[in-house]
Structure 1
Amino acid sequence: MIAMMLLLRVGLMFPPQIPVLCYHQIRDWKPKDKARDKEYIMPPATFRKRLKMLADSGYHTILPDELYAHLTKGTPLPSKPVMLTFDDTDGDQYHIARPEMAKYGFKGVYFIVFNNINKNRAYMNRSQIRQLSDEGHVIGSHTLNHPNIKKLKDSDWVNELDVSARKLETLTGKPVKYFAYPFGIWDQRVLPQLDKYGYLAAFQLDQPRDAAKPLLTVRRVIDDGRWDNTTLNRYLQRGFGRR
Protein backbone atom coordinates (compact mmCIF):
# COMPACT_ATOMS: atom_id res chain seq x y z
CA MET A 1 0.00 0.00 0.00
CA ILE A 2 2.79 2.42 0.92
CA ALA A 3 4.57 1.65 -2.33
CA MET A 4 1.37 2.24 -4.31
CA MET A 5 0.78 5.58 -2.56
CA LEU A 6 4.35 6.60 -3.33
CA LEU A 7 3.94 5.74 -6.99
CA LEU A 8 0.72 7.77 -7.17
CA ARG A 9 2.41 10.72 -5.49
CA VAL A 10 5.34 10.60 -7.93
CA GLY A 11 2.90 10.37 -10.82
CA LEU A 12 1.08 13.52 -9.71
CA MET A 13 4.29 15.47 -9.18
CA PHE A 14 6.10 14.16 -12.23
CA PRO A 15 3.69 12.91 -14.90
CA PRO A 16 5.35 11.21 -17.87
CA GLN A 17 6.83 13.90 -20.09
CA ILE A 18 5.74 14.65 -23.62
CA PRO A 19 8.66 15.39 -25.97
CA VAL A 20 9.12 19.15 -26.40
CA LEU A 21 11.79 20.23 -28.88
CA CYS A 22 13.41 23.66 -28.95
CA TYR A 23 14.83 25.48 -31.98
CA HIS A 24 16.69 28.75 -32.31
CA GLN A 25 18.47 29.72 -35.53
CA ILE A 26 17.67 27.78 -38.69
CA ARG A 27 20.49 28.58 -41.09
CA ASP A 28 23.61 27.08 -42.57
CA TRP A 29 26.73 27.04 -40.43
CA LYS A 30 29.31 29.73 -41.04
CA PRO A 31 33.09 29.46 -40.64
CA LYS A 32 32.98 31.76 -37.61
CA ASP A 33 30.46 29.54 -35.77
CA LYS A 34 32.02 27.81 -32.79
CA ALA A 35 31.50 24.11 -32.25
CA ARG A 36 29.22 24.69 -29.25
CA ASP A 37 27.13 27.19 -31.23
CA LYS A 38 26.15 24.48 -33.70
CA GLU A 39 23.97 22.94 -31.00
CA TYR A 40 21.67 25.95 -31.43
CA ILE A 41 22.03 26.37 -35.20
CA MET A 42 19.97 23.98 -37.33
CA PRO A 43 20.94 23.86 -41.02
CA PRO A 44 17.79 24.16 -43.16
CA ALA A 45 18.47 20.85 -44.94
CA THR A 46 18.69 19.12 -41.56
CA PHE A 47 15.50 20.80 -40.36
CA ARG A 48 13.64 19.56 -43.45
CA LYS A 49 14.86 16.02 -42.80
CA ARG A 50 13.78 16.34 -39.17
CA LEU A 51 10.20 17.23 -39.98
CA LYS A 52 9.95 14.55 -42.66
CA MET A 53 11.21 11.98 -40.15
CA LEU A 54 8.66 13.11 -37.56
CA ALA A 55 5.84 12.93 -40.10
CA ASP A 56 6.96 9.58 -41.53
CA SER A 57 7.29 8.16 -38.00
CA GLY A 58 3.71 9.09 -37.12
CA TYR A 59 4.35 11.98 -34.75
CA HIS A 60 1.60 14.56 -34.24
CA THR A 61 2.38 18.09 -33.11
CA ILE A 62 0.47 19.40 -30.12
CA LEU A 63 0.12 22.90 -28.69
CA PRO A 64 0.37 24.10 -25.07
CA ASP A 65 -3.38 24.14 -24.44
CA GLU A 66 -3.50 20.45 -25.33
CA LEU A 67 -0.54 19.66 -23.06
CA TYR A 68 -2.06 21.67 -20.21
CA ALA A 69 -5.42 19.90 -20.54
CA HIS A 70 -3.68 16.54 -20.64
CA LEU A 71 -1.60 17.20 -17.53
CA THR A 72 -4.37 18.81 -15.48
CA LYS A 73 -7.48 16.93 -16.64
CA GLY A 74 -6.17 13.79 -18.29
CA THR A 75 -7.49 14.85 -21.70
CA PRO A 76 -6.18 12.33 -24.26
CA LEU A 77 -3.46 13.35 -26.70
CA PRO A 78 -2.95 12.05 -30.23
CA SER A 79 -0.63 9.12 -30.69
CA LYS A 80 3.09 9.98 -30.59
CA PRO A 81 2.68 13.64 -29.56
CA VAL A 82 5.53 16.12 -29.88
CA MET A 83 5.70 19.89 -29.38
CA LEU A 84 7.86 22.11 -31.59
CA THR A 85 8.97 25.36 -29.99
CA PHE A 86 10.97 28.29 -31.37
CA ASP A 87 12.81 30.88 -29.28
CA ASP A 88 14.13 34.42 -29.80
CA THR A 89 12.04 35.77 -32.76
CA ASP A 90 14.56 34.85 -35.48
CA GLY A 91 13.24 35.54 -38.97
CA ASP A 92 14.34 32.15 -40.32
CA GLN A 93 11.76 30.56 -38.05
CA TYR A 94 9.15 32.32 -40.17
CA HIS A 95 10.78 32.01 -43.59
CA ILE A 96 12.01 28.41 -43.25
CA ALA A 97 10.24 26.66 -40.38
CA ARG A 98 6.73 27.95 -41.10
CA PRO A 99 6.39 26.69 -44.72
CA GLU A 100 8.14 23.43 -43.87
CA MET A 101 5.72 22.72 -41.03
CA ALA A 102 2.80 23.58 -43.29
CA LYS A 103 3.75 20.67 -45.59
CA TYR A 104 2.83 18.24 -42.82
CA GLY A 105 0.07 20.17 -41.09
CA PHE A 106 2.35 20.78 -38.12
CA LYS A 107 1.84 23.68 -35.71
CA GLY A 108 4.41 25.19 -33.37
CA VAL A 109 4.93 27.56 -30.47
CA TYR A 110 6.84 30.78 -31.07
CA PHE A 111 8.30 32.31 -27.91
CA ILE A 112 8.85 35.96 -28.74
CA VAL A 113 11.34 38.40 -27.26
CA PHE A 114 9.20 41.47 -27.80
CA ASN A 115 12.04 43.97 -28.18
CA ASN A 116 13.59 41.78 -30.89
CA ILE A 117 10.61 42.45 -33.17
CA ASN A 118 11.76 44.61 -36.10
CA LYS A 119 15.15 44.90 -34.39
CA ASN A 120 16.89 44.27 -37.69
CA ARG A 121 16.41 42.16 -40.80
CA ALA A 122 17.39 39.00 -38.93
CA TYR A 123 14.25 39.11 -36.80
CA MET A 124 10.54 38.79 -37.47
CA ASN A 125 8.33 41.82 -37.85
CA ARG A 126 4.90 42.45 -36.40
CA SER A 127 2.92 41.33 -39.44
CA GLN A 128 4.80 38.02 -39.58
CA ILE A 129 4.09 37.28 -35.92
CA ARG A 130 0.44 38.20 -36.39
CA GLN A 131 0.28 35.87 -39.40
CA LEU A 132 1.76 33.00 -37.41
CA SER A 133 -0.92 33.50 -34.78
CA ASP A 134 -3.68 33.73 -37.38
CA GLU A 135 -2.51 30.48 -38.95
CA GLY A 136 -2.92 28.60 -35.68
CA HIS A 137 0.57 28.70 -34.22
CA VAL A 138 0.83 29.78 -30.59
CA ILE A 139 2.61 32.98 -29.59
CA GLY A 140 4.18 32.91 -26.13
CA SER A 141 6.40 35.28 -24.17
CA HIS A 142 10.18 34.99 -24.02
CA THR A 143 10.40 38.24 -22.01
CA LEU A 144 10.83 41.80 -23.17
CA ASN A 145 14.64 41.85 -23.41
CA HIS A 146 15.89 38.23 -22.99
CA PRO A 147 17.62 38.64 -19.59
CA ASN A 148 19.00 35.89 -17.41
CA ILE A 149 16.11 35.28 -15.01
CA LYS A 150 18.49 34.66 -12.11
CA LYS A 151 19.89 38.19 -12.45
CA LEU A 152 16.56 40.04 -12.40
CA LYS A 153 15.60 42.35 -9.56
CA ASP A 154 12.10 42.42 -8.11
CA SER A 155 11.38 45.63 -10.02
CA ASP A 156 12.11 43.84 -13.33
CA TRP A 157 9.35 41.22 -13.12
CA VAL A 158 6.53 43.43 -14.32
CA ASN A 159 8.29 44.39 -17.57
CA GLU A 160 9.82 41.03 -18.42
CA LEU A 161 6.82 38.88 -17.50
CA ASP A 162 3.72 41.07 -17.65
CA VAL A 163 4.40 43.91 -20.09
CA SER A 164 5.91 41.49 -22.60
CA ALA A 165 2.72 39.39 -22.57
CA ARG A 166 0.36 42.36 -22.75
CA LYS A 167 2.22 43.77 -25.76
CA LEU A 168 1.99 40.42 -27.53
CA GLU A 169 -1.71 40.20 -26.75
CA THR A 170 -2.22 43.61 -28.31
CA LEU A 171 -0.29 42.47 -31.37
CA THR A 172 -2.10 39.16 -31.91
CA GLY A 173 -5.49 39.80 -30.30
CA LYS A 174 -5.10 36.56 -28.33
CA PRO A 175 -4.20 35.83 -24.69
CA VAL A 176 -0.59 34.93 -23.91
CA LYS A 177 -0.60 32.09 -21.40
CA TYR A 178 2.77 30.42 -21.92
CA PHE A 179 6.34 31.45 -21.20
CA ALA A 180 9.84 30.23 -22.08
CA TYR A 181 12.82 31.05 -19.88
CA PRO A 182 15.67 32.89 -21.62
CA PHE A 183 18.67 30.58 -21.91
CA GLY A 184 16.39 27.87 -20.50
CA ILE A 185 17.35 28.97 -16.97
CA TRP A 186 14.88 29.22 -14.10
CA ASP A 187 15.00 29.58 -10.34
CA GLN A 188 12.55 29.50 -7.46
CA ARG A 189 12.06 33.28 -7.34
CA VAL A 190 10.32 33.38 -10.72
CA LEU A 191 7.69 30.70 -10.05
CA PRO A 192 5.33 32.82 -7.89
CA GLN A 193 5.77 35.69 -10.34
CA LEU A 194 4.60 33.51 -13.23
CA ASP A 195 1.57 32.53 -11.16
CA LYS A 196 0.93 36.18 -10.33
CA TYR A 197 0.87 37.21 -13.98
CA GLY A 198 -1.41 34.38 -15.06
CA TYR A 199 0.85 32.01 -16.97
CA LEU A 200 -0.46 28.45 -17.17
CA ALA A 201 2.86 26.82 -18.03
CA ALA A 202 6.49 27.76 -18.54
CA PHE A 203 9.19 25.97 -20.51
CA GLN A 204 12.81 25.55 -19.50
CA LEU A 205 15.64 23.53 -21.02
CA ASP A 206 17.07 20.19 -20.02
CA GLN A 207 16.90 20.43 -16.19
CA PRO A 208 14.86 18.51 -13.61
CA ARG A 209 11.37 19.87 -13.02
CA ASP A 210 10.28 21.52 -9.80
CA ALA A 211 8.38 19.08 -7.58
CA ALA A 212 5.78 21.63 -6.50
CA LYS A 213 5.43 23.44 -9.84
CA PRO A 214 6.07 20.97 -12.68
CA LEU A 215 3.82 22.95 -15.05
CA LEU A 216 6.03 26.01 -14.62
CA THR A 217 9.20 24.02 -15.30
CA VAL A 218 8.22 21.93 -18.33
CA ARG A 219 11.33 20.36 -19.76
CA ARG A 220 12.47 20.86 -23.35
CA VAL A 221 15.54 19.70 -25.22
CA ILE A 222 17.34 21.51 -28.00
CA ASP A 223 17.18 19.59 -31.26
CA ASP A 224 20.94 19.66 -31.77
CA GLY A 225 21.93 20.71 -35.29
CA ARG A 226 24.74 18.12 -35.21
CA TRP A 227 22.42 15.16 -34.58
CA ASP A 228 21.26 12.84 -37.32
CA ASN A 229 17.66 11.65 -37.44
CA THR A 230 18.48 8.36 -35.73
CA THR A 231 19.92 10.19 -32.73
CA LEU A 232 16.89 12.44 -32.41
CA ASN A 233 14.46 9.53 -32.77
CA ARG A 234 16.31 7.62 -30.07
CA TYR A 235 16.13 10.65 -27.80
CA LEU A 236 12.41 11.06 -28.43
CA GLN A 237 11.81 7.46 -27.46
CA ARG A 238 14.15 7.24 -24.46
CA GLY A 239 15.16 10.71 -23.39
CA PHE A 240 11.88 11.88 -21.88
CA GLY A 241 10.79 10.26 -18.66
CA ARG A 242 10.06 11.37 -15.11
CA ARG A 243 12.69 14.03 -14.37
Structure 2
Amino acid sequence: MKTYPNPLSLFLLLLLFSCHSEPKDHVHDAKSIQGTAAAAEIAKDTVKLAAADAKTILSRKEVPVLCYHQIRDWKASDSQRAHDDIIPPANFREHIKMLADSGYHTILPDQLYDYLNYGKKLPAKPIMITFDDTDLDQYTVGAAELKKYGFKGVFFIMTVSIGRPRYMSKAQIKELSDQGHVIASHTWNHKNFAQFTDEDWDIQIDKPTQTLEKLTGKKVEYFAYPYGVFKAANLHKLKEHGFKAAFILSTPMDPVNPIYTIRRIIDPGRYTAKNLYNSLQKSFNKKKDAAVVAK
Protein backbone atom coordinates (compact mmCIF):
# COMPACT_ATOMS: atom_id res chain seq x y z
CA MET A 1 0.00 0.00 0.00
CA LYS A 2 1.38 3.29 -1.12
CA THR A 3 1.65 6.11 1.32
CA TYR A 4 1.18 9.71 0.17
CA PRO A 5 2.58 12.75 1.82
CA ASN A 6 0.24 14.60 4.08
CA PRO A 7 -0.99 17.81 2.30
CA LEU A 8 -0.02 19.82 5.35
CA SER A 9 3.52 18.42 5.18
CA LEU A 10 3.79 19.31 1.51
CA PHE A 11 2.68 22.85 2.26
CA LEU A 12 5.25 23.20 5.04
CA LEU A 13 8.03 21.85 2.80
CA LEU A 14 7.17 24.31 0.03
CA LEU A 15 7.02 27.17 2.49
CA LEU A 16 10.40 26.20 3.93
CA PHE A 17 11.96 26.06 0.44
CA SER A 18 10.59 29.45 -0.53
CA CYS A 19 11.85 31.02 2.71
CA HIS A 20 15.36 29.82 1.96
CA SER A 21 15.38 30.75 -1.72
CA GLU A 22 13.71 34.20 -1.67
CA PRO A 23 16.36 36.05 0.35
CA LYS A 24 19.01 35.04 -2.19
CA ASP A 25 17.03 36.69 -4.96
CA HIS A 26 16.32 39.75 -2.85
CA VAL A 27 19.99 40.04 -1.89
CA HIS A 28 20.99 39.68 -5.51
CA ASP A 29 18.47 42.34 -6.58
CA ALA A 30 19.55 44.69 -3.79
CA LYS A 31 23.19 44.30 -4.72
CA SER A 32 22.38 44.95 -8.37
CA ILE A 33 20.48 48.12 -7.48
CA GLN A 34 23.28 49.31 -5.18
CA GLY A 35 25.90 48.53 -7.82
CA THR A 36 23.99 50.41 -10.49
CA ALA A 37 23.55 53.40 -8.20
CA ALA A 38 27.24 53.38 -7.27
CA ALA A 39 28.27 53.14 -10.91
CA ALA A 40 26.00 56.05 -11.76
CA GLU A 41 27.46 58.12 -8.95
CA ILE A 42 31.01 57.37 -10.10
CA ALA A 43 30.10 58.26 -13.65
CA LYS A 44 28.54 61.50 -12.42
CA ASP A 45 31.69 62.39 -10.49
CA THR A 46 34.02 61.63 -13.37
CA VAL A 47 32.13 63.63 -16.00
CA LYS A 48 33.84 66.97 -16.54
CA LEU A 49 31.99 69.99 -17.78
CA ALA A 50 33.20 71.21 -21.13
CA ALA A 51 34.86 74.61 -20.92
CA ALA A 52 33.16 77.41 -22.81
CA ASP A 53 34.60 78.62 -26.08
CA ALA A 54 35.96 82.14 -26.54
CA LYS A 55 32.71 83.47 -28.00
CA THR A 56 30.71 82.27 -24.99
CA ILE A 57 33.20 83.70 -22.50
CA LEU A 58 33.15 87.05 -24.26
CA SER A 59 29.36 87.08 -24.25
CA ARG A 60 29.09 86.72 -20.48
CA LYS A 61 28.54 89.84 -18.44
CA GLU A 62 31.88 91.14 -17.15
CA VAL A 63 32.59 91.00 -13.43
CA PRO A 64 34.20 94.17 -12.03
CA VAL A 65 37.85 93.65 -11.12
CA LEU A 66 39.73 96.44 -9.33
CA CYS A 67 43.50 96.88 -9.27
CA TYR A 68 45.55 98.65 -6.61
CA HIS A 69 49.27 99.37 -6.36
CA GLN A 70 50.57 101.64 -3.59
CA ILE A 71 48.29 102.69 -0.74
CA ARG A 72 49.98 105.76 0.76
CA ASP A 73 49.73 109.51 0.89
CA TRP A 74 51.09 111.42 -2.07
CA LYS A 75 54.51 113.03 -1.91
CA ALA A 76 55.58 116.31 -3.50
CA SER A 77 57.81 114.30 -5.83
CA ASP A 78 54.89 112.23 -7.16
CA SER A 79 53.81 113.09 -10.69
CA GLN A 80 50.19 113.73 -11.62
CA ARG A 81 50.20 110.35 -13.37
CA ALA A 82 51.32 108.73 -10.12
CA HIS A 83 48.18 110.07 -8.45
CA ASP A 84 46.24 107.42 -10.33
CA ASP A 85 48.45 104.50 -9.28
CA ILE A 86 48.90 105.71 -5.68
CA ILE A 87 45.77 105.90 -3.53
CA PRO A 88 45.86 107.66 -0.13
CA PRO A 89 44.79 105.36 2.75
CA ALA A 90 41.82 107.60 3.61
CA ASN A 91 40.52 107.35 0.04
CA PHE A 92 41.08 103.60 -0.04
CA ARG A 93 39.08 103.17 3.18
CA GLU A 94 36.22 105.26 1.79
CA HIS A 95 36.17 103.26 -1.42
CA ILE A 96 36.12 99.86 0.30
CA LYS A 97 33.37 101.04 2.65
CA MET A 98 31.36 102.22 -0.35
CA LEU A 99 31.66 98.78 -1.94
CA ALA A 100 30.43 97.11 1.24
CA ASP A 101 27.61 99.63 1.74
CA SER A 102 26.56 99.19 -1.90
CA GLY A 103 26.11 95.44 -1.46
CA TYR A 104 29.16 94.19 -3.34
CA HIS A 105 30.53 90.74 -2.50
CA THR A 106 34.17 89.90 -3.16
CA ILE A 107 34.93 86.79 -5.17
CA LEU A 108 38.20 84.97 -5.83
CA PRO A 109 39.77 83.78 -9.10
CA ASP A 110 38.44 80.21 -8.93
CA GLN A 111 34.89 81.55 -8.73
CA LEU A 112 35.45 83.88 -11.66
CA TYR A 113 37.09 81.08 -13.65
CA ASP A 114 34.14 78.74 -13.05
CA TYR A 115 31.67 81.47 -13.99
CA LEU A 116 33.43 82.34 -17.25
CA ASN A 117 34.17 78.76 -18.27
CA TYR A 118 31.14 76.87 -16.96
CA GLY A 119 28.50 79.51 -16.26
CA LYS A 120 28.46 78.79 -12.52
CA LYS A 121 26.56 81.22 -10.34
CA LEU A 122 28.19 84.09 -8.49
CA PRO A 123 26.93 86.02 -5.47
CA ALA A 124 24.90 89.18 -6.01
CA LYS A 125 27.01 92.15 -7.12
CA PRO A 126 30.31 90.26 -7.37
CA ILE A 127 33.61 92.13 -7.47
CA MET A 128 37.26 91.12 -7.33
CA ILE A 129 39.84 93.26 -5.53
CA THR A 130 43.43 92.77 -6.64
CA PHE A 131 46.82 94.18 -5.60
CA ASP A 132 49.98 94.28 -7.73
CA ASP A 133 53.70 94.48 -6.86
CA THR A 134 53.96 93.17 -3.24
CA ASP A 135 53.97 96.61 -1.52
CA LEU A 136 53.89 96.44 2.28
CA ASP A 137 50.97 98.87 2.53
CA GLN A 138 48.81 96.31 0.76
CA TYR A 139 49.25 94.18 3.88
CA THR A 140 49.15 96.87 6.56
CA VAL A 141 46.34 98.96 5.05
CA GLY A 142 44.77 96.95 2.24
CA ALA A 143 44.23 93.58 3.89
CA ALA A 144 43.35 95.20 7.23
CA GLU A 145 40.58 97.22 5.59
CA LEU A 146 39.21 94.24 3.66
CA LYS A 147 39.00 92.28 6.92
CA LYS A 148 36.55 94.82 8.40
CA TYR A 149 33.96 93.81 5.82
CA GLY A 150 34.76 90.14 5.43
CA PHE A 151 36.27 90.82 2.00
CA LYS A 152 39.00 88.72 0.38
CA GLY A 153 41.54 89.86 -2.18
CA VAL A 154 44.09 88.64 -4.70
CA PHE A 155 47.74 89.59 -4.25
CA PHE A 156 49.89 89.40 -7.37
CA ILE A 157 53.41 88.98 -6.05
CA MET A 158 56.62 90.17 -7.71
CA THR A 159 58.98 87.71 -6.04
CA VAL A 160 62.22 89.72 -6.38
CA SER A 161 60.76 92.20 -3.86
CA ILE A 162 59.87 89.75 -1.09
CA GLY A 163 61.53 90.82 2.16
CA ARG A 164 62.95 94.08 0.84
CA PRO A 165 62.27 97.43 2.57
CA ARG A 166 58.65 98.64 2.02
CA TYR A 167 57.66 95.26 0.59
CA MET A 168 55.97 92.28 2.21
CA SER A 169 57.92 89.56 3.97
CA LYS A 170 57.51 85.83 3.45
CA ALA A 171 55.65 85.58 6.75
CA GLN A 172 53.18 88.31 5.76
CA ILE A 173 52.47 86.70 2.40
CA LYS A 174 51.94 83.33 4.10
CA GLU A 175 49.59 84.99 6.59
CA LEU A 176 47.51 86.49 3.79
CA SER A 177 47.24 83.08 2.17
CA ASP A 178 46.27 81.43 5.46
CA GLN A 179 43.55 84.05 5.94
CA GLY A 180 41.89 83.03 2.68
CA HIS A 181 43.29 85.60 0.28
CA VAL A 182 44.76 84.32 -2.99
CA ILE A 183 48.47 84.62 -3.69
CA ALA A 184 49.20 84.81 -7.41
CA SER A 185 52.10 85.58 -9.75
CA HIS A 186 53.33 88.92 -11.12
CA THR A 187 56.70 87.69 -12.49
CA TRP A 188 60.08 87.80 -10.81
CA ASN A 189 61.06 91.42 -11.46
CA HIS A 190 58.17 92.97 -13.39
CA LYS A 191 59.52 92.30 -16.88
CA ASN A 192 57.19 93.23 -19.72
CA PHE A 193 55.46 90.04 -20.89
CA ALA A 194 55.54 91.20 -24.52
CA GLN A 195 59.37 91.20 -24.33
CA PHE A 196 59.81 87.69 -22.92
CA THR A 197 62.64 85.59 -24.29
CA ASP A 198 62.72 81.79 -24.12
CA GLU A 199 64.68 81.84 -20.87
CA ASP A 200 62.17 84.21 -19.25
CA TRP A 201 59.60 81.44 -19.00
CA ASP A 202 61.83 79.90 -16.37
CA ILE A 203 63.06 83.14 -14.75
CA GLN A 204 59.84 85.14 -14.80
CA ILE A 205 57.22 82.40 -14.64
CA ASP A 206 58.29 78.95 -13.39
CA LYS A 207 60.69 79.95 -10.61
CA PRO A 208 58.34 82.59 -9.12
CA THR A 209 55.55 80.01 -9.18
CA GLN A 210 57.74 77.53 -7.33
CA THR A 211 58.75 80.17 -4.79
CA LEU A 212 55.15 81.12 -4.02
CA GLU A 213 53.91 77.53 -3.89
CA LYS A 214 56.66 76.59 -1.46
CA LEU A 215 55.86 79.65 0.63
CA THR A 216 52.07 79.18 0.81
CA GLY A 217 51.71 75.43 0.38
CA LYS A 218 49.09 76.10 -2.30
CA LYS A 219 49.04 75.96 -6.09
CA VAL A 220 49.63 79.22 -7.94
CA GLU A 221 47.30 79.28 -10.94
CA TYR A 222 46.70 82.94 -11.75
CA PHE A 223 48.89 85.63 -13.28
CA ALA A 224 48.81 89.41 -13.81
CA TYR A 225 50.80 91.04 -16.60
CA PRO A 226 53.26 93.79 -15.57
CA TYR A 227 51.92 97.10 -16.91
CA GLY A 228 48.86 95.16 -18.07
CA VAL A 229 50.69 94.42 -21.32
CA PHE A 230 50.34 91.06 -23.07
CA LYS A 231 51.42 89.45 -26.34
CA ALA A 232 48.61 87.50 -28.01
CA ALA A 233 50.96 85.00 -29.66
CA ASN A 234 52.27 83.84 -26.26
CA LEU A 235 49.00 83.56 -24.34
CA HIS A 236 48.68 79.81 -24.96
CA LYS A 237 52.00 79.27 -23.19
CA LEU A 238 50.54 80.41 -19.89
CA LYS A 239 48.30 77.34 -19.87
CA GLU A 240 51.31 75.16 -20.62
CA HIS A 241 53.03 76.64 -17.57
CA GLY A 242 50.14 75.85 -15.24
CA PHE A 243 48.01 79.01 -15.21
CA LYS A 244 44.23 78.79 -15.44
CA ALA A 245 43.68 82.49 -16.17
CA ALA A 246 45.51 85.82 -16.37
CA PHE A 247 44.64 89.48 -15.84
CA ILE A 248 45.33 92.59 -17.89
CA LEU A 249 44.27 96.18 -17.18
CA SER A 250 41.79 98.30 -19.11
CA THR A 251 42.49 97.18 -22.69
CA PRO A 252 39.99 94.88 -24.49
CA MET A 253 40.12 91.13 -23.88
CA ASP A 254 41.80 88.99 -26.52
CA PRO A 255 39.13 87.48 -28.82
CA VAL A 256 40.94 84.13 -29.05
CA ASN A 257 42.11 83.72 -25.42
CA PRO A 258 39.77 85.86 -23.28
CA ILE A 259 40.35 83.72 -20.18
CA TYR A 260 44.00 84.86 -20.27
CA THR A 261 43.10 88.52 -20.72
CA ILE A 262 40.53 89.20 -18.01
CA ARG A 263 40.04 92.94 -17.75
CA ARG A 264 40.69 95.03 -14.63
CA ILE A 265 40.55 98.74 -13.97
CA ILE A 266 42.73 100.80 -11.65
CA ASP A 267 40.94 102.62 -8.84
CA PRO A 268 42.53 106.08 -9.24
CA GLY A 269 43.79 107.71 -6.06
CA ARG A 270 42.13 110.99 -7.01
CA TYR A 271 38.67 109.40 -7.25
CA THR A 272 35.98 109.92 -4.64
CA ALA A 273 33.91 106.92 -3.60
CA LYS A 274 31.12 108.19 -5.82
CA ASN A 275 33.52 108.49 -8.77
CA LEU A 276 34.51 104.86 -8.29
CA TYR A 277 30.91 103.67 -8.09
CA ASN A 278 30.02 105.48 -11.30
CA SER A 279 33.15 104.14 -13.00
CA LEU A 280 32.19 100.56 -12.12
CA GLN A 281 28.70 101.03 -13.54
CA LYS A 282 29.99 102.59 -16.73
CA SER A 283 32.90 100.24 -17.35
CA PHE A 284 31.39 96.87 -16.50
CA ASN A 285 27.68 97.24 -17.24
CA LYS A 286 27.92 98.39 -20.83
CA LYS A 287 26.90 96.04 -23.65
CA LYS A 288 29.73 94.42 -25.54
CA ASP A 289 30.31 95.24 -29.17
CA ALA A 290 28.56 92.44 -31.09
CA ALA A 291 31.31 92.42 -33.70
CA VAL A 292 33.94 91.75 -31.05
CA VAL A 293 31.88 88.97 -29.45
CA ALA A 294 31.35 87.31 -32.79
CA LYS A 295 35.04 87.01 -33.63
TM-score band by shorter chain is: over 0.9
Matches of 1:200 and 1:154, distance apart in 2: 21
Matches of 2:210 and 2:216, distance apart in 1: 10
Check conservation: 2:57, 2:258, Cα contact below 8 A: no
The structure-2 alpha-carbon separation of the partners of 1:27 and 1:12, relative to structure 1 and needing over 3 Å to count, comes to: closer
Matches of 2:254 and 2:103, distance apart in 1: 31
Shift in Å, 1:41 = 0.2
Shift in Å, 1:69 = 0.8
Name whichever of 205-214 and 147-156 sits farther off: 147-156
Shift in Å, 1:149 = 1.2
Q: Is 1:95 aligned with 2:105?
A: no
Q: Is 1:17 aligned with 2:65?
A: no
Aligned counterpart for 2:116 among listed residues 57, 66, 71: 71
Shift in Å, 1:153 = 1.0
Query: How many residues of Structure 1 are paired with residues of Structure 2 in the alignment?
Result: 235
- Residue in 1 that maps onto 2:82: 37
* Moved >3 Å (runs of 4+): 8-14
Superposed counterparts of 1:1-243, under 5 Å = 10-120=55-165, 122-240=166-284, 241=286, 242=288
The unaligned stretches of length 5 or more in structure 2 are 1-52, 290-295
Shift in Å, 1:127 = 0.0
Give the TM-score of the pair, scaled to structure 2: 0.77
The structure with more radius of gyration: 2
Matches of 2:275 and 2:129, distance apart in 1: 17
**Going by fraction, where is helix more abundant, 1 or 2?**
2
Name whichever of 192-201 and 23-32 sits farther off: 192-201
Shift in Å, 1:53 = 0.3
The structure-2 alpha-carbon separation of the partners of 1:9 and 1:130, relative to structure 1 and needing over 3 Å to count, comes to: closer
The unaligned stretches of length 5 or more in structure 1 are 1-7
The structure-2 alpha-carbon separation of the partners of 1:72 and 1:125, relative to structure 1 and needing over 3 Å to count, comes to: same
Name whichever of 232-241 and 206-215 sits farther off: 232-241
> Of the two structures, which has the highest relative contact order with CA contacts closer than 8 Å and spacing of 6 or more?
1
Give the TM-score of the pair, scaled to structure 1: 0.93
DSSP-derived class of the 1:76 partner:
coil
Matches of 1:12 and 1:82, distance apart in 2: 17
Q: Deviations over 1:71-103 (max 9, x none)?
A: 111111000000000000000000001111100
- Residue in 2 that maps onto 1:3: none
Check conservation: 2:54, 2:258, Cα contact below 8 A: no
Q: Deviations over 1:156-183 (max 9, x none)?
A: 1122111111110000000000000001
Counterpart of 2:215, as a letter, is: L
Matches of 1:216 and 1:9, distance apart in 2: 11
